[in-house]
Each structure stands twice: as C-alpha cells, then as structure tokens.
Homo-oligomer: A and B are copies of this chain.
Amino acid sequence: MADPLKLGIAGLGTVGAGVLDLLAQRGGALASNAGRGVAISGVSARDKNKKRAVDISSFQWFDDPVALARCDDIDVFVELIGGEEGAAKASVEAALKAGKHVVTANKALLAYHGLALARLADENGVALNFEAAVAGGIPAIKTIRESLLANNISRVYGILNGTCNYILTRMQKQGRNFDEVLREAQDAGYAEADPSFDIDGHDTAHKLTLLTTLAFGVEASIDTIYVEGIRSISLADIVAADELGYRIKLLGIALKTGSGIEQRVHPTMVPKNTAIAEVDGVMNCVAFDSDFAGDVMLIGPGAGARPTASSVLSDILDIARGTIMPPFGRATNSLKAYERARMHAHEGGYYIALSVFDRPGAFAAIAGRMAEQDISLESIVQHRPRAALPGLDARTDDGSPLPVVMITHETTEAAIRAALRIIEKEGNVNEPPRMIRIEKM
C-alpha cells in the first residue's frame, strides 16, 4: 500500500472538529477501503490552547496557516477557516502555488475567487475540491462533475440554505409569523444573531454561483445574480399558497434560456405534490434537469459538522485514490464567458398578493391593468382568511382593505412589474403589491 496521504488542516471550529472526529473513528477502515491511508501531519487554528473536544497534541502545530499550507510534510491542505479574504485566501493560494492539493468547505472564498483559484490549481496540476461548500452532506459537486458529465444541463436549482428553509417550514407547519420563528431559530442556533447573510439570500447566491459554473461550464459571477430574501414572506402568503396548492421555498435557480443564463435567488412557489415541497426544516436539496440522465434531485442535510466532515473526507479520499479533476469539471481556461439573461425577460407564473380597498370598481381597475399587460389569471382568491390563523387581515365590511390573491398564467417579469407599478400608483391598494414567482417542477 502507498504511503499515507498527509493532511494539513487549518481551522478547528465546528467543521474542523468534525473532520478530526471522523478521521479518528474511520482512519483504519479508510486506509483499506481507499487503498491508501490518510494521516494528519499538521494543524493550525487561531488559538492553540483553546479547550477542544478532540485531542490535537499529537499533530504538529502551526500558528500561521500559510506556513502549514507550504509545509513540505503535507500533500493536501484542508482549509476550514472560512471567509472570502484573509487567512483562508492567503493559505489556499499558498498551498496551490506550492503544488499541494486543496480541499475546502469555503463557499464564500470560491464564490468570489473560485475561477482564479481554479486556474492556479490547473497550472499546478493539483486538485481544488469543494464538495462541502455546497449543500453540506449532499454529493452535488461530484454528481455534476462526474455522474452527469456527459449531459447537457438546462437547469440547476435547489434549497441551499437551511436557515431559510427551517424558518419557512416552521411558519407553514405552525401557522406562525416570520419574526417569531426567526427569533426561535436564533435561540436554537439555526440562525445567526445577524441573520441577514442567510435570510437575505446571499448564502444561497454563493452556492448558486458554484453550481452555475459547474453545470453550464461558464465563468459565473456572484455579482450578476438576482437576489431576493425571505423577509417579505408573510404568514398570509404561506396560508394562501397552501390553499392554492403550493409551498414557498427559498430557491437558488440557474436556467439556460434563449437569451442567456438566468441566475436568481428568491422565494419560490413550488407545487405541493412534489418531492421538493417536502424538503423541510434544515434539509437541503439540489436538482438538475439534464438531457440524458433526466431530472435528478439529491436531498440531504445542508450543513452541520458531521455532514460537512463527510463531504470533506469524500474529497480527500478522491485525492488519495488519485482522482484529480479540474475544479469545475473541465479545464478552467475552457470555461465560456457568462451570458446573462435579463431578469425582466424571466418567464413564469406569478403569485400576486394585494390589499385592496373594498369599494366598487377597485377590483375591476386592477383586473384591467393586468389585462393591459396581457397577463391572464389562473385563479383568484378573495375571502376571509381562516380565523384560526393569527396575523392575517380579516375583512371588515367597512371599505377597509381586503386581501386578494391571484395566480397568473405564464407571463414575463417585465409585464408583472409594469402592472403592479400602475396598480400601486392608482391607489386601490393600501400597501405595495407583493409577488412570488412560481417555478415549474
């Protein structure tokens, strides 16, 4: 059997501890399964003396992760520091330049610098593996890079953020408001004290950038993604969606269209009788529409020390067995320029929620504005909401606002925006119209 593959692990937080734990438990079995052992040569973290659940005294300690990355005694640099700049970026660059393979769980680093780092990996003939950076324990990267390699993929999408999915699931299952559930998620450790990175959709956008590059072979940039978070989703929307046969999920979606690639992150209505509608709580999913394999969906835990550690190990074992793929599945220099489809050209159905003053002619005016934009309606719901659910405006019969919900047939983003702009301006509604895009499954 070959010499063991020597690892340098930088970052000993939750994920780092998970990786050490997994290696301690499975080291022997992995050696026999992969045909080559895996051994830790050195570790680096901010504080050597911090109390840790795992014993690190037998590993060589490095105060500086860059020094660990360059150390002659390692074959693979495992970056679990996090963050798109600073120590993570410096040490990954140093490792690649020193001809070390890199395994990282750092989606932010890759979303911003993935293409440059992938070129560096190509130039040095080393791996840059990042299965753990997208959807935790789900083998999404391997599936695109290897299993679906012979396919043309037309759409890649998924539930990529566990915090958002946890919040939306609790709102739906328990009939509770966003703020209340967010606070609870923060108390339970499922949401950060400053939750904006997750709930405003940025985390999903990071992951979508990587999936887009992989799925379409293009130089995707995070800056061109349309991003909308879940703060605007009310319990009323969730209840109305349910009545209309939908669930609301925060999806990241990249879609090939005639005018380029649409890349968008937004709350999305998905039909209730589908697998994705049942991906609940902190579970994630990643789905591919491909021309030969067909529609493939992978579901699993999107985060957490143990699922992430499993994916990190999978990447390490690929290197142990000598599988060195270009980071994005093909030579980085062969990735094509990214052609962006304008969001205004997006085509699909829409859910529209209005708070309409209950007076003669109000609804006729609204319907007229929709018709002017060639928007046809599939269904309209205008009734007193279920009394049992708190937080919903109920009809008062005194001319005050009444909630009206509509589902449109397929139309364009431009048409919807034009119609809603005029409807808001005309004064038949007492608050800005809300809309949620419907995704075909």
Contacts and interface: CB of A to CB of B under 8 A. Distances in A.
Contact of A329 (B33, B131, B323): B33
B147 A33 contact: no
A276 B280 CA distance: 13
A116 interface: no
Contact of A150 (B151, B300, B314, B323): B314
A317 interface: yes
Nearest to A295: B300
Contacts of A390: none
Contacts of A309: 292
Interface in A275-330: 275-279, 290-301, 304, 306-307, 309-311, 313-314, 317-318, 321-323, 325, 329-330
Contact of A273 (B143, B146, B278, B304): B278
Interface stretch (A106-114, A134-142, A202-210, A391-399): A134-142
Given A275-B275, A323-B323, A149 B294 contact: no
A379 interface: no
A18 B309 CA distance: 37
A210 to B, nearest CB: 17
A22 interface: yes
Contact of A142 (B18, B146, B330): B146
Select the residue from A18, A275, A276 with max chain B CB neighbours within 10 A: A275
B307 A300 contact: no
Contacts of A218: none
A20 interface: no
B306 A32 contact: no
Nearest to A304: B294
A259 interface: no
A309 B300 CA distance: 26
A329 B297 CA distance: 23
Contacts of A18: 292
A23 to B, nearest CB: 8
A334 B139 CA distance: 26
A90 interface: no
Size bracket of the A interface? 35 or more
Contact of A131 (B32, B147, B291): B147
Contact of A314 (B131, B147, B273): B147
A87 interface: no
Nearest to A38: B150
A300 to B, nearest CB: 4
Select the residue from A22, A296, A309 with max chain B CB neighbours within 10 A: A296
B297 A311 contact: no
B311 A301 contact: no
A213 to B, nearest CB: 14
26 contacts: A32-B331, A33-B149, A137-B292, A137-B293, A137-B294, A138-B296, A139-B143, A139-B147, A142-B142, A142-B143, A142-B147, A146-B317, A147-B314, A148-B314, A149-B314, A150-B313, A292-B307, A293-B310, A294-B301, A294-B307, A295-B301, A296-B298, A297-B299, A322-B322, A322-B323, A323-B323
Given A34-B149, A292-B310, 13 more contacts: A30-B149, A30-B150, A131-B147, A139-B142, A142-B143, A275-B279, A290-B310, A292-B313, A293-B301, A294-B306, A296-B298, A298-B298, A322-B322
Interface of A: 18, 22, 26, 30, 32-34, 131, 137-139, 142-143, 146-151, 273-279, 290-301, 304, 306-307, 309-311, 313-314, 317-318, 321-323, 325, 329-331, 334
